[in-house]
């Protein structure tokens, strides 16, 4: 095999450092000097620890080291050569998790900035991406089908001097099928949390494919292929959408609609229903993130409360209570973030809903006024004209 071509292809496809471990001492020394930012938090990134791990490696197995910082290095043997990939990130940087890690290891909080800069400079790459890319490139170069088992190494070596040279360091049970399934699910759920409509179906396809493959266990296949599969998908996607900040009322409205559709259609339609459900849910998350990305959780709660209670006689006290703040504190925060008072925002939301009804229905203006929360029709007309520059009747005529 052309080793240099292999290294170049893997590095370009994954955008990650790739090393030929032929000159093991120099390679591992380079990794420690350039990527081991703190030996307490990355005990397996030292040259000695890596040497012990690699020495016990077996062919046809992809090993993945995951350190306390959630930064990984993978290594494997092929054609009697050792190859190392990484470092790369396993997920987004979490400041709260980092604070907890520093406290647990009695390290100063001043390290957070340094660790943030370190962790965020690496691309986020999944195990599936690495495994699939390596397999496909090797198959192309060698013109043969190649597959690797997977072993995740999360036990940490603090002192290599205590390790017996005959110890089977890498003799863990092979849980590759389980890890592959969970890795696919995490990619899928992360795409939902981010409102990533471009990648959510690739992730879902990988998740489903891992279940349909002939290598998948009976348990794994039944996990997705059982009659309860849609219920499982609904349950996990609802939680992912909720974590994005999307209102649980909105999530419930979307899911209930598709649960009903799923119950009355035959099996041949189920795949399309699931696809439609994912699209609508992810688009709702995307719109939510675009609308509220710059707002604090208190302001988001307030806006969601106003949206859900447009027709009711809402007061500033009601809105502040929904945001779990005092009226004075809430008013300052809302004005600072949104640029106007909460009551001004409420008026715009009500008039926006009214404008939609004026365009799409023939309901009398008085009924629309009452529906969006204005019991006094004359006052509604005054507010609407201030926002849109025309009266509700004039607006309807112009949009006809």
The CATH number covering residue 337 comes to: 1.10.10.60
Query: Both 282 and 310 in a single domain?
Result: no
Residue that finishes a domain, picked among 251, 272, 292: 292
Expressed as residue numbers, the domain containing 204 is 178-292
> Both 153 and 20 in a single domain?
yes
Do 339 and 280 belong to one domain?
Answer: no
Boundary of a domain, candidates 263, 292, 321: 292
Q: What is the pLDDT of residue 177?
A: 56
Q: How many domains does the chain have?
A: 3
Let me know if residue 168 belongs to a domain. Answer: no
35 and 128, same domain (yes or no): yes
Q: Do 281 and 255 share a structural domain?
A: yes
User: Token pair 């939609």 is at which residue?
Assistant: 356
**Are 113 and 193 in the same domain?**
no
Question: For the chain, which ranges sit under pLDDT 50?
Answer: 157-175, 210-227
pTM over 0.95: no
Helix (H, G, I), strand (E, B) or coil at 1: coil
In this structure, the answer to whether residues 152 and 228 fall within a common structural domain is: no
- Give yes or no: residues 144 and 266 share one domain: no
Last residue of a domain, one of 292, 312, 334: 292
pLDDT given for residue 213 in this prediction? 39
275-331 pLDDT, tens digit per residue, is 888 899 999 999 888 877 788 889 988 988 898 888 888 999 999 999 999 999 999
167 belongs to a structural domain: no
Distances (CA, A) of 148 to 66, 134, 174, 313, 390: 18, 9, 11, 63, 68
pLDDT at 320: 94
Residues 263 and 336 in one domain: no
**Following DSSP, what letter does each residue of 73-139 receive, concatenated?**
EEEEEETTEEEEEEEEESS---HHHHHHHHHHTT--TTHHHHHHHHHTTSPB--HHHHHHHHHHHHH
């Amino acid at each position: 095999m052309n080793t240099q071509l292999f290294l170049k292809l893997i590095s370009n496809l994954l955008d990650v450092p790739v090393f030929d471990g032929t000159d093991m001492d120099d390679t591992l020394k380079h990794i420690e000097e350039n990527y081991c930012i703190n030996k307490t938090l990355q005990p397996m990134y030292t040259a000695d620890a890596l040497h012990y791990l690699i020495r016990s490696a077996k062919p046809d197995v992809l090993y993945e080291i995951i350190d306390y910082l959630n930064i990984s290095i993978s290594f494997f043997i092929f054609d009697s050569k050792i190859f190392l990939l990484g470092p790369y990130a396993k997920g987004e940087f979490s400041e709260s998790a980092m604070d907890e890690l520093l406290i647990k290891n009695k390290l100063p909080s001043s390290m957070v900035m340094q660790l943030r800069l370190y962790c965020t400079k690496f691309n986020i790459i999944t195990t599936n991406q690495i495994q699939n890319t390596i397999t496909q490139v090797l198959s192309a170069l060698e013109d043969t089908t190649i597959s690797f088992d997977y072993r995740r190494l999360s036990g940490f070596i603090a002192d290599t001097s205590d390790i017996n040279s005959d110890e089977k360091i890498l003799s863990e049970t092979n849980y590759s099928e389980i890890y592959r399934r969970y890795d696919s699910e995490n990619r899928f759920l992360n795409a939902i949390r981010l409102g990533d409509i471009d990648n959510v179906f690739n992730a879902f396809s990988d998740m489903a494919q891992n279940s349909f493959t002939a290598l998948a266990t009976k348990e794994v296949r039944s996990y997705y292929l059982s009659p309860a599969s849609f219920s499982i998908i609904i349950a996990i996607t609802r939680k992912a959408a909720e974590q994005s900040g999307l209102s649980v009322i909105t999530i419930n409205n979307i899911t209930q609609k598709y649960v009903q559709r799923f119950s009355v259609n035959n099996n041949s339609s189920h795949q399309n229903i699931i696809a439609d459900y994912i699209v609508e849910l992810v688009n709702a998350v995307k719109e939510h993130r675009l609308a509220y990305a710059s707002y604090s959780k208190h302001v988001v709660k307030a806006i969601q409360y106003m949206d859900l209670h447009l027709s009711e006689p809402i007061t500033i006290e009601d809105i502040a209570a929904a945001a779990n703040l005092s009226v004075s504190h809430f008013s300052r925060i809302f004005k600072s973030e949104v640029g106007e008072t909460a009551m001004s925002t409420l008026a715009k939301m009500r008039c926006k809903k009214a404008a939609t009804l004026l365009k799409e229905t023939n309901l009398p203006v008085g009924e629309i006024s009452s529906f969006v929360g204005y019991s006094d029709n004359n006052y509604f007309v005054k507010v609407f004209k201030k926002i849109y520059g025309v009266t509700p009747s004039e607006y309807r005529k112009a949009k006809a």
